[in-house]
Amino acid sequence: MGQTISEKIISNHIGKKVFAGELVITPVDGVMATDTTGPLSLKAFDAMGGKKVFNPNKCALIIDHAAPSPNERIANLHKMMRDFARTQDIRLFEIGEGICHQVMVENQYVKPGDIFIGADSHTPTYGALNAFACGVGSTDLAAVMMTGKIWLKVPQTIKINCSGKLQSEVTAKDLILFLVGKITVSGATYQAIEFCGEAFEGLSLSGRMTIANMSSEMGAKTGIVHPAGLQLDYDFNPIVSDADAKYIQSFDFDVSDLEPQVSAPESPDNVHNISKYEGIKIDYAFIGTCCNGRLEDLDIAAKILKNKKIHPEVRMVIAPASQSVLLDGISNGSIATLIKAGASLITSGCGPCVGTHQGVPADGEVVISAANRNFRGRMGNPNSNIYLGAPSTVAASALEGQIVNPKKYLVS
Amino acid sequence: MSAITRIKAKAHVYGDHIDTDRIIPGKYTKTLDLSTLANHVLEDLDPDFHKKIQTGDILVAGTNFGCGSSREQAPLALKQAGVSVVIAQDFARIFFRNAINIGLPVLEIGNHTIQKNAQLEVDLQQGTVTDLSENKSYKATRLPEIMIAILAEGGLVNYLKKHGNYSL
């Protein structure tokens, strides 16, 4: 019987052919925790009798969720992580080095065919690399650091095929928002998703990360983009599904006429064509996060804002996904363009997406954000409203002070 | 099972898709002082929840409970506030694992119609829930064996302290 990508990757790790529904204990190729999940994880590691992590080269800690520390309580949690990293001889990614998922990919902690476990719900991002990656909580992560293994149920898989080429003003973010709207926030719970078809084949690694990232907004255990068209700096063996693999559900969408998409408060699956929301006044525009803080996201925003000023009643925050993205954005001029347009540049990291600091909205304010979540209170204030869109939509909306289709700024 | 297995308590009932930001907002999660979580649990959904909840009470929800972030602070906040068990039509997967791992029992009952303030009797060993107010009984979906074993030890920390590794 044929296998899905997830079934193949798990089978490769445990040395026997397994299928959806089987419970397995599998070795993992890497683990990471952040400053939201890490401290509890380290506490659990000690409590469960952990002495040394299973392999220091496969473990990482990242300070990204509240970086630099906004208060003494969090400063002390960061110190706890630094101390642990030093004692265990594992790498700690310091404040400003970047968002966990971005630095894991940039530093090759995860590669095609790997099983990677992260104590962050957006860990499925690595599905962009044709890897099987799941998010877990702190105690699960501690157990993986100690044993090098995780127990899991081999997931059933939903196949999403998107045919057609995206219009030039339509990005990976618009595509994944559209899909989250169709599949819904619980439509893939416990399941894996495979993304395949022409629309994905043309995407860069960055765009593929945006796609896989929002698998978690459909409840999925993991979301893997088919490797066709994937280009990396190193050689890899792509894992593809068999023609007779068994899927629990299959979807086919022709996305050649897709418009830019917007997700309205207060659930990521409340998605419609941008035309429904055009004209809604905004106070605050944000580009960053593990979903959309990469170079091509900054570049498209810079293209729209070049030699222009954002609307006087709008403030704009930019958080590059990593220091490497920041340096590239400095080199190619995008960062300067955005700052000259009136944007405020903050430390690479999760920034205001997690509602801890660096840009909490005020009561009644409306935010247009390139992030992946718009739950009530997500950015730190339950009395604000968050709309999600592509970086292009965020930039065009910042310019006009209202939600607007970026098409006229991108299609000449 | 080492913990209490029979619970008779009041149900606090909420709706579908209660995400982890509503269970415990991100701004409160960065702490190891877990007692602080209880004051903010569900505050963006029901600001009075922490006053209404009595130790041992039962939280009941609809579908996709605990969607969103991986924060283990979500089940920890509920446990700290005194919630003895969470019943939902179904759960988001990370929340579900986290709850079991920290020893907060969770029961999946797909077709429940439990109403606000119902008196419930829960038998964790049997996975049964009786709605005493409606005189109706439910059977929860059976957990995988490994989860039963983890819950029996009161959570994953104790499980691994005892066994040193996983076994199926």
Instruction: Write out pLDDT tens, residues A2-38.
Output: 999 999 999 999 999 999 999 999 999 999 999 999 9
Residues of B in contact with A40 (CB under 8 A): 32, 72-73, 76
Note whether A40 contacts B22, CB cutoff 8 Å.
Answer: no
State whether residue B121 sits within 8 Å of chain A by CB: no
- Site from B160, B162, B165 to mutate, A interface, most A CB atoms within 10 angstroms: B160
| Residue B164 in contact with partner chain A when CB distance is under 8 A | yes
pLDDT digits (tens, 9 = 90+) for A265-278: 999 999 999 999 99
Q: How many helices (H) and strands (E) does chain B have?
A: 6, 7
pLDDT at B118: 97
For residues A286 and A370, the answer to whether their CB atoms sit within 8 Å is yes
Mean pLDDT score of chain A: 97
A40 to B93: CB separation less than 8 angstroms, yes or no: no
* Residues A119-149: tens digit of each pLDDT: 999 999 999 999 999 999 999 999 999 999 9
By C-alpha distance, the chain A residue nearest B19 is A375
Q: What is the mean pLDDT of residues B83-104?
A: 97
Region B77-87: mean pLDDT is 97
Q: Is residue A50 within 8 Å of residue A142, measured between CB atoms?
A: yes
Of the candidates A146, A189, A382, the beta carbon closest to that of B160 is on A146
DSSP for A144-194? HHHHSEEEEEPPPEEEEEEESPPPTT--HHHHHHHHHHHH-TTTTTT-EEE
Nearest to A45 by CA among B11, B142, B99, B157: B157
Pick from A149, A191, A197, A156: nearest CA to A175: A197
Q: Is B84 within 8 Å of chain A by CB?
A: no
Residue B1 has pLDDT above 50, yes or no: no
**Rg (Cα) of chain A, in Å, rounded?**
20
Task: For residue B159, give the chain A residue with the closest CA.
Answer: A48
Of A37, A43, A73, the CB nearest to B70: A37
Residue A412 has pLDDT above 80, yes or no: no
Nearest to A73 among B30, B156, B166 (CB): B30
Q: Which residue of B has its CA nearest to A382?
A: B44
- Side by side, the strands of the sheet bearing B58-61 are B106-108, B85-88, B58-61, B6-13, B119-123, B128-131, B136-139
Q: Which residues of B touch A143 (CB under 8 A)?
A: 156, 160, 166
Residue A245 has pLDDT above 90, yes or no: yes
Give SS3 for A281. strand
Q: Is residue A208 very low, low, confident or very high in pLDDT (cuts 50, 70, 90)?
A: very high
Which pLDDT score is estimated for B167?
86
CB contact under 8 A, B98 and A73: no
Computed over every residue of chain B, the mean pLDDT equals 94
Segment A285-306 shows an average pLDDT of: 98
**Residue-level pLDDT at B3:** 59
Average pLDDT in the A194-215 region? 98
**Amino acid present at B24:** I
pLDDT per residue as tens digits for the range A341-395: 999 999 999 999 999 999 999 999 999 999 999 999 999 999 999 999 999 999 9
Flag whether the ipTM exceeds 0.85: yes
B51 touches A at CB < 8 Å: no
DSSP 3-state helix, strand, coil percentages of chain A (rounded to 5)?
A: 35, 20, 45
- Chain A residue with minimum CA distance to B156: A139
H-type alpha helices, A184-311: 198-201, 205-213, 289-292, 295-305
Taking residues A194-200, report their average pLDDT. Answer: 98
What CA–CA distance (Å, rounded) separates A40 from A99?
Answer: 19
Contacts of B68 in chain A (CB under 8 A): 121, 373, 375
Question: Using the beta-carbon criterion (under 8 Å), do B165 and A23 form an inter-chain contact?
Answer: no
Beta bridge partners of B12: B59
Nearest CA of chain A to the CA of B15: how many Å? Answer: 14
Contact A379, A350 (CB under 8 A): no
